Structures are given as C-alpha cells and as structure tokens.
Amino acid sequence: MAKTFSLNKKQINLLEKLSQAMAISGNEGEVRSIVLEEIRPYIKDYQVDSLGNLLVTKTGSSKNRLKVMLAAHMDEAGFMIAADDGDGIFRFEISGGIDLRQLPGKSVLVGKEHIPGVIGARPIHLTTSSDRQNKIPLNNLRIDIGPGANTIKPGDQAVFATTFQHVGPSLIGKALDDRLGIAVLINLIKNSPPNIDLQAAFTVQEETGLRGARVAAFTFKPDLAFVVDSTPAKDLPAWDESENLTYNTRLGAGPAIYTADGSTLSDPRLIRLLVQTAEKARIPYQLRQPGGGGTDAGAIHKQAGGIPSVSVSIPGRYAHTPVGLARVSDFLHTIDLLKATLLSIHPEILAQERS
C-alpha cells in the first residue's frame, strides 16, 4: 500500500499519454495503440473485435479458477465534426454527454493530426445582458480552425485541448473518465494474480450506450465482472452552506464502490467482498451514492444468462469538462483494492445465491 501518494516518472508519463490521447466513441484507436504498447510484453495474445474492443486473457495457474472480467472504457466525451461551413468553420455534434455551458471559449484538437481549433462565442460587446442569461445552443456553436486549406471533414473527431498536469496531490487533465480506469487495468494486467483467469476488456463506446462492453461480455462469458470507471465527485460547498446531500463521492475518500446506479444493481456478494477486503487491508473506500449514471456493468451483467457484476470508480471532479481533477491517493488505492480483491476470489463466492 502506498503511504506516500506519489507516482514515479513512468506512471506519470503513461497517465499523461492516456489523458492527452484522442478517442471519442467509435474512434478509440489512439488509446488502443497506447494500451497495446504498454501491455504487449505481459501478454501472450490479444484480440480486437469488430467494434474495436481490445480483449486480453491472462490465464492463472492455480486449480479451480473463476473467469473474472475487468472492464475499463477507452472512449471519452468529445465532439464529432458534422458539417463544413467553409472558411475553417465547422458545425459539430457532441459525443457522449457534455454540458453546453462548458463549451464556449474553449480550445480543441481536431482529427488524426490533432489540428488545434477553438469554440468561439459572440463578443460580449455585441450581446445584451439578457442574451448572456441564456446558454448558447449547440446550433450556434462552431469549431474554428482558421481559414485556408485544411484536411478536416465531417466525421472527424475532436476533443478538449487540455494538457495533463500532476499538481501536488492531484491529477488534472481531460478524459480522466476513464483513462484513470484504463491505467488501473493496465497495472492489473502487469500484476495479474494466479488464482483467476483475468479477462481484461478495454472497451469502446461506453459513453454512447455501453455498447462495447455488451459484446465483450458475450465473447468472454465470465463468471463475474468488475468495472473500473471514474465517477463524479460533486463535493463542492453548497451555495447556502447547507449540508451537501448529493455529493455522489468525495475526493480523497478512496475508491468508490457502487451499490446501485442507473444501469446496475451491484451484486451484493461482490459489494461485500470489496468492503471486507478493504477493511482487512486497511484501504480507505467509500460507497458511491445510489442514483443515476451508469458504467459498463450495466451492459455486462445482463449478458449471456447473467453475470454478477460490480463497479469501482476513482472519484473525479468536473467530469466531461475540459478539466477533470482526481487525487493520486484515490488512484493508487483503487489499484490496491482491486489487486487485493482479485487475490481473494475463489469459487466459494458464487456458491451461495445472490443475496
């Protein structure tokens, strides 16, 4: 267990590469390449399926092994170029959910070549105060890469142009949802336990409907599944200083274990396993507040006759905005918790019925 929550240079470089990679739903190749490069020396073989999921199995060595699926999604919330208005100005669609109010005045990177662009807004001098009360509808927003010849065409992807930074105890960058989860999964592959067959799925299209996870689960047909994602920490102070009742998770309080979200009622046996492991190994953890949202578990648990599933997330502030923020300690504790939990998996867990 890491007492001093610091990352070495290699870990920081990987997180930086992952955070700055461009991968919206349906277009995850850049992240897939980075992941493959990292894990290649540690795996025998891999498969890229027809949606682009990267599927890897690490066979264990002990007797009576359960097949355990681990999933983290490679795609991020971003934009797709929809139409060329000419003069370097492009209409765009949002891929995955992004609050419109996060868009005006931001810079983006567009297409395979990461061409810089900006999302402009009407100059304040030309607006009235009542204009400024209303958010700018998507129809009025454009990505501007500057006039002149260019190679951008409708269908190209675009993402926020945020530079990743490690500041004190924090990690700051775009797409921490779910590049942090990807980094956790990479770590677990490098340190896979002998008592299970680890079926790792680096999934696609989570942000647009959990689509990659659905087919990955069908291909793997695991005995149980853990999903590693990042979930919002809405732990800012309330405007009237009242108690914050809807924080979802809190930064620094450890990996967040899901009991129920909008897509899954976690298997209670797996919730208990995680909690008992955390308490035994003295790893801080929190319970994510039940409510909306969803993870790849939503698709996985219904597949192939049913798969007991649970999600564990690294809390992150400001998800789906240009600047996500997470704590190094939460990231490292998530790795610790999952490592310890995987080591404690044995067939007896599924011997009793779901309850």
Binding site for other proteins (CB under 8 A): 23-30, 33, 48-53, 80-83, 91, 93-95, 112, 154-155, 204-205, 208-209, 211, 214-215, 218-219, 243, 245-247, 259-260, 265-266, 268, 271, 287, 289-291, 301-308, 350, 353-355
CB nearer to other proteins: pick between 187 and 308? 308
User: Which of the residues 28, 30, 76, 206 is marked catalytic?
Assistant: 206
CB nearer to other proteins: pick between 11 and 259? 259
Q: Are 233 and 248 in contact (CB under 8 A)?
A: yes
CA 249 to chain CA mean position, Å: 15
CB nearer to other proteins: pick between 70 and 307? 307
Q: Tokens representing 63?
A: 């007797």
Nearest to 19 by CA among 338, 324, 335: 324
Q: Are 66 and 226 in contact (CB under 8 A)?
A: no
Give the shortest CB-114-to-other proteins separation in angstroms: 12
Helix/strand/coil for 56:
strand
CB nearer to other proteins: pick between 180 and 257? 257
Q: What are the helix (H) ranges across 191-295?
A: 211-220, 268-280
Burial class (CB in 10 A: 0-12, 13-18, 19+), 113: exposed
**Active site (annotated) includes residue 206:** yes
Burial code (b: 16+ CB inside 10 Å, e: under 16) for 249-273 equals bbbbbbbbbbeebebbebbebbbeb
Burial class (CB in 10 A: 0-12, 13-18, 19+), 229: buried
Q: What are the helix (H) ranges across the chain?
A: 9-20, 29-39, 176-190, 211-220, 268-280, 297-300, 328-343
Give the shortest CB-167-to-other proteins separation in angstroms: 30
Give the shortest CB-148-to-other proteins separation in angstroms: 22
Give the shortest CB-337-to-other proteins separation in angstroms: 17
Give the shortest CB-258-to-other proteins separation in angstroms: 9
CB nearer to other proteins: pick between 2 and 260? 260
CB nearer to other proteins: pick between 130 and 243? 243
196-203 vs 66-73, strand pairing mode: parallel
Q: Are 273 and 346 in contact (CB under 8 A)?
A: no
Give the shortest CB-311-to-other proteins separation in angstroms: 13
Q: Kindly list the catalytic residues.
A: 206
